[in-house]
A and B are shown apart, each in its own frame.
Chain A
Amino acid sequence: MPKLRSDRLHGTLDALVLKAMSWGPRHGYAIARWLEQSTDAELRIEEGSLYPALYRLEERGWIEADWGTSELGRRAKFYRLTERGDEELRRETVEWTRFAAAVTRVLAATA
């Protein structure tokens, strides 16, 4: 039985942000756009809350940041997953899948 972490929602945002970087380094705006598109606006994530989340992830050592040049030739801060961040993403994914499955089983039960 997966444990329900009290910061499940926070953790969910973290997992989604990490996921956004799993294809390579991205800047904050790209991550925000990806979240918007891939959730089809089903999950309304306040754009502004993304940045503190990024800083926290960086502090935990799950992501690293570097200044680079954006597609349009402007200086931007790019984030990429660290090895530990990659592990965390896998763990979160497994945990969430189990959690969702368990909840689904309960809700779908007929008797």
Chain B
Amino acid sequence: MSASRERSVLRPTVREEVEEELSFHLEMRVRELVAGGLSEKAARAQALRTFGDLAGVQAECRRLGERRERGRRRGELFAELWQDLRFGVRHLRRAPTFAAIAILTLALGVGATTAMFSVMQAVLLRPLPFPDSGRLVVPTARPASGESWSITYADYLDWEQAKVFEAAAAYRIINVNVAGGAAPERLVAVQATKDFLHVLGVRPLLGRALRPEEHMPGSPRRALISYGLWQRRFGGDPAAVGSKLRMTGVDVEVMGVLPAGLSFPREADVWLPLKVFPEERASLERRDNFMFNGIARLLPGKTLAATNAELAALAARVAREQPAARAGVTMTAGPLLDELVGPTLPRTLVLMLVAVALVLVIGCVNVANLLLARSATRRRELGLRSALGASRARLGRQLLTEALVLGLTGGAVGLVVAWGAMRGLVALAPASIPRLDEVRLDLPVLGAAFAVSLFATLVFGAAPAWRLAATRAAAAAKEPTRSVTAARGRQRRVLVAVELALSLLLVVWAGLLLRSLGQLNATDPGFPTARLLTFSVSLQGDRYEGEELSINGIAELARRLAAVPGVQRSALLSSAPLGGGGFYLGRAFLAEGRPEPPAGREVNGQWSVVTPGAFAALGVPLLRGRDFTDGDTATSVPVMIVNREFARKMFPDVQNGDALGKRVRSWRDENVYREIVGIVDDVRFFGAGDEIRPLVYVPHRQCGWDTMVAVLRTTGAPDETLPAVRRAVAAFDAELPLDGVQTFDEVFATSVAPRRFGATLLASFAGLALLLALVGVYGVLSYEVAQRAREIGIRMAIGSRRADVLRMVVGEAAVLVVVGLAGGAAAALLAGRFVQPLLFETAATDAPTYLTAVALLGGVALLAASVPAVRAAASDPMKVMRAE
């Protein structure tokens, strides 16, 4: 029986002690009084009287006694802990190689996990910088199809009238050409209703916010600018407030500067008042003109659910009153943070965090195995201490404390690793991940690192401590160190199998993401991207005022670009495929003679305005009919060219998708019948990973558009042609900036970047796991072979051949590998549903990926096993036997 339990059973409680002590006192007093001649009864009464408040004294003594007892126990515990800590540190210093390997393994795991968590913290968890940002929401329109649309101006007016929010604003993002600097530049601007800044809770750093009357049509042109623009354009001079900025061809007075980091949306540099001119009013207030974004602040104390119920009720009323425009469309608000982060990113980051945590666990398993191997050699020491009276709990505590020394040291070194890894992650990450510049080692991240270290300690420290509890300490002292118990071997083997299973999970995930990336890279965007230069221009100012001037401007620019030496073909489009920029506009279409379908069942298509020659410039094959010409004008027959997918969706019954000559209208907005004069091939529209979508092209002379994306197929390298292109644009309009200049190869790379990031990251985690698994399998097997040297020696002495020994050792490893890999494959299949949305044209159960992963890991494991196996087979039986 252990010492501590003995104490707790035999030692009387404080209460019993106090009672015994006081009753002794009273008894002695009674005895004395009786000796003095009193009766037993009288003596007892007097003894109690002289004593005073017996119950009170008893309670006080008990209180004091118990306090003392607690203090003593605590003191003992701390003394033991301190002793264990010193012992642990001393112990590790005596085994520097072991300590270095263990600490490094842990530091890698803790560091990588911490870095990943810091990214998650910055991107997903940390609140937005606005005051009380949890109450900021984004209201959106939800059609029956389940998509998320922006809102109409009329909806915003509804909220204001019904006081659904504490404050709400409608805004739209436009681009403005700003002249007057070294070169004209195009900036992102926000046109917002009066309460925009009030909703966000942001005050200008300098100057003042725009007043409600400054949002009235005809009021002087005024704007707020971002901190960045203030620094860039005005060098941070406070005199910027009150000065004029020449934008969109007119002078606008700067009224204030917004604080750094409190811009919304992030990319915006200019905030303008939304002025509703009388001639625009009818169009703006249409219930199906979803051209605004909404932002709002919840009323204090009102939940999102209650607010959404009100929005739904408002939307239901609108749908009843104007079914043509709004049947089936409801309204829902969601947290601003969710809106900014988007739907896929949290899943990706969670997967990465799980993956990196698995690497940590695999590392912990290796350290646990090292500790187990060491504890085997320490059995005599521990057995001795146990025989000298240390309880098993005490020894277990000592082992855990030693593990804690390792864990916390590993954690501290891990912070350094985390800091480096964080910088690496930020550098590697695609620009599309929001708030990544806010990644830092803050308190929650440090807390997480500490928690992770403790967790790791428990994972790798529990095994030796647990094993200790399972051994008969007394027996251990007598046992020779060399003998191997079956229990220990099994435990280490289970750990290795777990390690292999987790590694396989990681390798499968990495394989799936890499395969997705491969698929994505191999996708055909529908046109050749080589030597294809693109940029965006926005014709603004008086010289383009009015439809005709604007159309002529675009035509003139197209003509000048085509004439630039080195430009093979060129064109201008309102939106470029492959996510190349422009204004993306989805519209619903209806073929002539068909009834209007219910909401959610219409054929949608992306609306693009193009100049003649756009398909030739892009290299999109024209399958049937003709391209637009300069003859397609405002006065000629309205025409359109559609892609194959549109023809298939709109006319599923027509053979070969031959929709030429049919008439289609965009029945909710333009509502003009256009004749299909051409059918072009499909392209990936929103990026390389996009599905094939229905697309509609209309000639620019029939639909004026002032912001266009230029595409130029060059004969040589695009860089070489760019200066001449810039000169041509400047000759056309010196105040016209080129925005988003890039090649289509770059556009493609950008659209692939998030997946590349995920796949690279996961592949490096998997590589780390593979390495750790290799070390783990090798470590366990070579240890076992060393332990069994005598047995192997005997086997060989009585006639086993080297091949038999080799087969035996590798065979035993193979069992381990098969069990581990089977477990890992099962886990990967179970996790498939979580991973599937992150994959591109790859099934989460993709057999080649699984087979490759199993072959890779199995091969590595058997390779790791073969080294000790060969060593065992090569051993000289006589030497081994003599050594024992």
Residues in chain A within 8 A of chain B (CB atoms): 27-29, 32, 46-49, 51-52, 55-56, 58-59, 70, 72, 74-77
Within 8 Å by CB of B64, from A46, A52, A72, lies A52
Q: Which residue of B lies closest to A70 (CB)?
A: B24
> Provided the pairs A29-B28, A76-B24 are in contact, do residues A48 and B67 lie with their beta carbons within 8 angstroms?
no
Contact residues in A for B28 (Cβ distance below 8 Å): 29, 70
**In contact, A75 and B67 (Cβ under 8 angstroms):** no
Contact residues in B for A28 (Cβ distance below 8 Å): 21, 24-25
Contact residues in A for B25 (Cβ distance below 8 Å): 28-29, 32, 47, 51
Q: Which residue of A lies closest to B56 (CB)?
A: A48
**In contact, A55 and B24 (Cβ under 8 angstroms):** no
Within B47-95, the residues touching A (CB, 8 Å) are 50-54, 56-57, 60-61, 64-65, 67-68, 71
Separation of A46 and B54 alpha carbons in the complex (Å): 11
Contact residues in B for A48 (Cβ distance below 8 Å): 51-54, 56-57
Q: Does B385 contact A (CB under 8 A)?
A: no
Contact residues in B for A46 (Cβ distance below 8 Å): 52
**Chain A proximity of B45: nearest CB distance (Å):** 15
**In contact, A52 and B60 (Cβ under 8 angstroms):** yes
Q: Which residue of B lies closest to A77 (CB)?
A: B21
Contact residues in B for A74 (Cβ distance below 8 Å): 24, 27
Q: Which residue of A lies closest to B25 (CB)?
A: A29
Residues in chain B within 8 A of chain A (CB atoms): 17-18, 20-22, 24-25, 27-29, 31, 50-54, 56-57, 60-61, 64-65, 67-68, 71
**Chain B proximity of A104: nearest CB distance (Å):** 32
**In contact, B24 and A56 (Cβ under 8 angstroms):** no
Separation of A56 and B21 alpha carbons in the complex (Å): 15
**Chain B proximity of A53: nearest CB distance (Å):** 10
Contact residues in A for B54 (Cβ distance below 8 Å): 48
> Provided the pairs A47-B52, A48-B54 are in contact, do residues A59 and B60 lie with their beta carbons within 8 angstroms?
no
> Provided the pairs A47-B50, A48-B52, A52-B61 are in contact, do residues A59 and B24 lie with their beta carbons within 8 angstroms?
no
Q: Which residue of A lies closest to B26 (CB)?
A: A29
**In contact, A51 and B52 (Cβ under 8 angstroms):** no
**Chain B proximity of A64: nearest CB distance (Å):** 12
**In contact, B64 and A56 (Cβ under 8 angstroms):** yes
> What are 16 A-B contacts with C-beta separation under 8 Å?
A27-B24, A28-B21, A28-B24, A29-B24, A47-B50, A47-B52, A48-B51, A49-B57, A51-B25, A52-B60, A52-B61, A55-B61, A58-B68, A59-B71, A76-B24, A77-B24
Give the one of B17, B18, B28, B51 with max A CB within 10 A: B28
Separation of A74 and B52 alpha carbons in the complex (Å): 24
Separation of A46 and B51 alpha carbons in the complex (Å): 7
Contact residues in A for B21 (Cβ distance below 8 Å): 28, 51, 76-77
**Chain B proximity of A45: nearest CB distance (Å):** 10
**In contact, A52 and B57 (Cβ under 8 angstroms):** yes
Separation of A2 and B50 alpha carbons in the complex (Å): 35
**In contact, A59 and B64 (Cβ under 8 angstroms):** yes
Separation of A51 and B549 alpha carbons in the complex (Å): 107
Separation of A47 and B32 alpha carbons in the complex (Å): 15
Within 8 Å by CB of B51, from A47, A52, A55, lies A47
Q: Which residue of B lies closest to A76 (CB)?
A: B24
**In contact, A49 and B64 (Cβ under 8 angstroms):** no
Contact residues in B for A55 (Cβ distance below 8 Å): 60-61, 64-65, 68
Q: Which residue of A lies closest to B57 (CB)?
A: A48
Separation of A70 and B71 alpha carbons in the complex (Å): 29
**In contact, A51 and B24 (Cβ under 8 angstroms):** no
**Chain A proximity of B36: nearest CB distance (Å):** 13
Contact residues in A for B56 (Cβ distance below 8 Å): 48
Separation of A52 and B52 alpha carbons in the complex (Å): 13
Supply 17 further A-B pairs (C-beta < 8 A) apart from A47-B50, A49-B57, A77-B17: A28-B24, A48-B51, A48-B52, A48-B56, A51-B18, A51-B22, A52-B57, A52-B60, A55-B60, A56-B64, A58-B68, A72-B31, A74-B24, A74-B27, A75-B24, A77-B20, A77-B24
**Chain B proximity of A14: nearest CB distance (Å):** 14
**In contact, B61 and A51 (Cβ under 8 angstroms):** yes
Q: Which residue of B lies closest to A75 (CB)?
A: B20
**Chain B proximity of A72: nearest CB distance (Å):** 8
Separation of A72 and B68 alpha carbons in the complex (Å): 30
Q: Which residue of A lies closest to B14 (CB)?
A: A55
**Chain A proximity of B183: nearest CB distance (Å):** 83
Q: Which residue of A lies closest to B71 (CB)?
A: A59
Separation of A27 and B28 alpha carbons in the complex (Å): 11
Contact residues in A for B17 (Cβ distance below 8 Å): 77
**Chain B proximity of A71: nearest CB distance (Å):** 10
**In contact, B68 and A59 (Cβ under 8 angstroms):** yes
Contact residues in B for A49 (Cβ distance below 8 Å): 52, 57
Q: Which residue of B lies closest to A48 (CB)?
A: B52
Separation of A59 and B72 alpha carbons in the complex (Å): 10
Q: Which residue of A lies closest to B49 (CB)?
A: A47
Q: Which residue of A lies closest to B47 (CB)?
A: A47
**Chain A proximity of B611: nearest CB distance (Å):** 95
Separation of A32 and B27 alpha carbons in the complex (Å): 13
**Chain B proximity of A80: nearest CB distance (Å):** 15
Q: Which residue of B lies closest to A30 (CB)?
A: B28
Contact residues in A for B61 (Cβ distance below 8 Å): 51-52, 55
Contact residues in B for A72 (Cβ distance below 8 Å): 31
**Chain A proximity of B100: nearest CB distance (Å):** 44
Separation of A35 and B806 alpha carbons in the complex (Å): 87
**Chain B proximity of A79: nearest CB distance (Å):** 10
Separation of A74 and B28 alpha carbons in the complex (Å): 10
Q: Which residue of A lies closest to B62 (CB)?
A: A55
Give the one of B17, B25, B64, B67 with max A CB within 10 A: B25
**Chain B proximity of A35: nearest CB distance (Å):** 12
Contact residues in A for B29 (Cβ distance below 8 Å): 29
Separation of A77 and B29 alpha carbons in the complex (Å): 16
In the A-B complex, the 7 residue pairs with the smallest Cβ-Cβ separation, listed nearest first, are A48-B52, A55-B64, A48-B57, A29-B28, A52-B60, A29-B25, A46-B52
Contact residues in A for B60 (Cβ distance below 8 Å): 51-52, 55
**Chain A proximity of B854: nearest CB distance (Å):** 67
**Chain B proximity of A21: nearest CB distance (Å):** 15
**Chain A proximity of B51: nearest CB distance (Å):** 5
Give the one of B18, B21, B27 with max A CB within 10 A: B21
Contact residues in A for B50 (Cβ distance below 8 Å): 47
Contact residues in A for B27 (Cβ distance below 8 Å): 74
**Chain A proximity of B582: nearest CB distance (Å):** 82
**Chain B proximity of A67: nearest CB distance (Å):** 8
Separation of A28 and B18 alpha carbons in the complex (Å): 11
**In contact, B52 and A59 (Cβ under 8 angstroms):** no
Separation of A74 and B26 alpha carbons in the complex (Å): 13
Separation of A75 and B25 alpha carbons in the complex (Å): 11
Separation of A74 and B30 alpha carbons in the complex (Å): 15
Separation of A51 and B58 alpha carbons in the complex (Å): 9
Separation of A74 and B51 alpha carbons in the complex (Å): 20
Separation of A59 and B68 alpha carbons in the complex (Å): 6
Q: Which residue of A lies closest to B67 (CB)?
A: A59
**Chain B proximity of A76: nearest CB distance (Å):** 5
**Chain A proximity of B14: nearest CB distance (Å):** 10
Separation of A47 and B50 alpha carbons in the complex (Å): 7
Contact residues in B for A27 (Cβ distance below 8 Å): 24
Separation of A92 and B693 alpha carbons in the complex (Å): 98
Contact residues in B for A75 (Cβ distance below 8 Å): 20, 24
Separation of A32 and B24 alpha carbons in the complex (Å): 12
**Chain A proximity of B16: nearest CB distance (Å):** 11
Q: Which residue of A lies closest to B28 (CB)?
A: A29
Within 8 Å by CB of A51, from B31, B57, B68, B71, lies B57
Separation of A46 and B56 alpha carbons in the complex (Å): 13
Contact residues in A for B22 (Cβ distance below 8 Å): 51
